[in-house]
Chains A and B, each alone.
Chain A
Amino acid sequence: MQTSFINIEDIRNDFPILKRKVHKDKPLVYLDNAATTQKPIQVIEAISNYYLTYNSNIHRAVHELAEEATLAYETTRDKIAKFINAKNREEVVFVRGTTEAINLVAYAWGRQNINKDDIIVTTEYEHHSNIVPWQLLAKEKGAKLEYIGVDDNGELILDHLDKYLQTGKVKLVAFSQMSNVLGTITDSEEIVKRCKKYGARVLIDGAQSVPHLKVDLQKLDCDFFAFSAHKMLGPTGVGVLWARKELLQNMVPFNGGGDMIREVHKYETTWNDLPYKFEAGTPNIADVIGFAAALDYLDKIGMDKVREHEMELTKYALDKLSQMKGIVLYGPKDVTKRGGVISFNLGDIHPHDLATIIDEDGIAIRSGHHCAQVLMERLDVSATSRASFYIYNTKEEVDVFVKSLNRAKELFKL
């Protein structure tokens, strides 16, 4: 019982971890993909192949190993630019992850461009990584942080954005393209359009969207875009900041050190070209190379297919879950407006108790506030349970999940 869009059996065979058992004899049902995804053998081999056959530092040395490593590292940059349809490869900066990308912008752009009484706008469904850097910046500069609210359907109330934009004080609007809790897909193009009218810069957190949707930066027309490799089959410790060339050119470096310089003298230094100005020190070469294998893997399947598979799976799961007595489902009901992330509460079972119980059946879900405490306050809950899908998940797994939820209900005598 696979979805009609991709051959799941072939895909699952590429993921060694999916063959393991948990709690002695339970097949692993991995539904925590919004936190991090599993890695196909192609990614694991790309990393080990680098260490086994051409491990060396990049950019500086002239020997053969270094040339191979540099080529593999820089080829990843090209693949990323193509994957997100960025105009220029030098706009793609490697960082540790989405969190570092956003902090880089807050530090290197924000401190130059945000002043007293300016407004930074974010939303109520942001991950902490798209809230805390702005709080820090706003406090430092005496600027204001405002929030676009979330309606009862789990969608942003764009009237709030207009209200702030009309003050003429908004310098930056930072939002997630897909909520990591509700799964809501943000109407990003509409937000960018409104911001342009008022000259506000736009940062998009693509940590949840790039792995699951086709993202086209030239169509999006934002100013900054951030995402992480590990949520899209790639290794941890690699992420991307994309930013408009003219912005990157005028930004101060984030880290000072090797590789980011052109000339260093006792008291003066000139900066290297883009993107190297923002890549001080030896980068995470092996994992960047591993990331390329992840991009190849997703390309081979096709992001349209990924999206269709997840929509079908999400609809299947939502249909089953909504029939359960005592369940509260958060986020849009319409699967065209959401990704494969389902947050819910079941009766008075606390999410941590629920996650403990279904873990015994081999099911890995997330429970807690999902680094989105502002949203938890909005939803008036202390925590939710969250199941999130990816390309290797099946309808059978959804059935196992639903069956396990029923066992939890029995244990709690609901």
Chain B
Amino acid sequence: MSSADIYREIILDYYRNPRNYGKIENPDISERDSNPLCGDELEMHINIKDDKVADVKFTGKGCAISQASASMLTELIMGKDFEYVKKLAKEDILDNLGLQNLGPARIKCALLSFKVLKTGIYTYLVDNLKDTESADKMKEEVSGIY
């Protein structure tokens, strides 16, 4: 992908004016991760109510791709059914970003927030829902993200 295709207006806008930036007090899901290669950092907080995402926020620092993708991911899942969020695939995320053809180094930036989300869901499935079967599937999915 050329830079002109990556750094479109919408990516820059979400990078500079991130939606849902911040923290939730006592969230149901709290997960963080970093990309040691880049030093990108990301933390995501989610509240689940009536099997829906009642609230989601993120904080982090890093490149435009990682931060914009995190912000756009929060918008994608806000208010959605937990089942829908569980089933989201990385292709959905890249489609949503319009970044389907990133190189191997930068795709990690685009998927860092997705990895954080899925890891958070995994922990939630184990700790809160005691749903080990779904959790195991989720764990496998997380390790295959990149």
Contacts and interface: CB of A to CB of B under 8 A. Distances in A.
A6 interface: no
Interface in B9-53: 12, 15-16, 37-41
Lowest 10 A-B CB distances belong to which pairs?
A: A350-B63, A352-B63, A357-B3, A353-B63, A353-B64, A411-B7, A382-B61, A369-B39, A352-B38, A382-B39
A216 interface: no
A369 B15 CA distance: 20
B2 interface: yes
A382 B2 CA distance: 25
Contact of B109 (A349, A352, A369, A408): A352
B62 interface: yes
Interface string A346-385: 0011111100110010000001110001001000001100
Interface size class of B (residues with CB under 8 A): 20 to 34
27 contacts: A348-B15, A348-B16, A350-B62, A351-B63, A352-B38, A352-B40, A352-B62, A352-B63, A352-B65, A356-B3, A356-B6, A356-B106, A357-B7, A367-B38, A368-B37, A368-B38, A368-B39, A369-B39, A373-B39, A382-B41, A382-B61, A383-B38, A383-B39, A408-B3, A411-B3, A411-B4, A411-B7
Contacts of A353: 7, 63-65
Contacts of A408: 3
A410 to B, nearest CB: 10
A51 interface: no
A360 B39 contact: no
Contacts of A348: 15-16
Contacts of B7: 353, 357, 411-412
Contacts of B16: 348
A144 B6 CA distance: 47
Interface in A392-408: 408
Contacts of B63: 350-353
A1 B126 CA distance: 65
B11 to A, nearest CB: 10
A353, A367, A373: which has the most chain B beta carbons within 10 Å? A353
Interface size class of A (residues with CB under 8 A): 20 to 34
A413 interface: yes
Contacts of B109: 352
B73 to A, nearest CB: 18
A413 B3 contact: no
Given A348-B16, A356-B3, 17 more contacts: A348-B15, A349-B64, A350-B62, A350-B64, A351-B63, A352-B106, A353-B63, A353-B65, A357-B7, A360-B3, A368-B39, A369-B39, A373-B39, A382-B39, A411-B3, A411-B7, A413-B12
B6 A412 contact: no
Interface in A189-208: none
Contacts of A412: 7, 12
A360 B7 CA distance: 13
B42 to A, nearest CB: 12
Nearest to A369: B39
A348 to B, nearest CB: 7
Contacts of B15: 348
Contacts of A351: 63
A360 B62 CA distance: 21
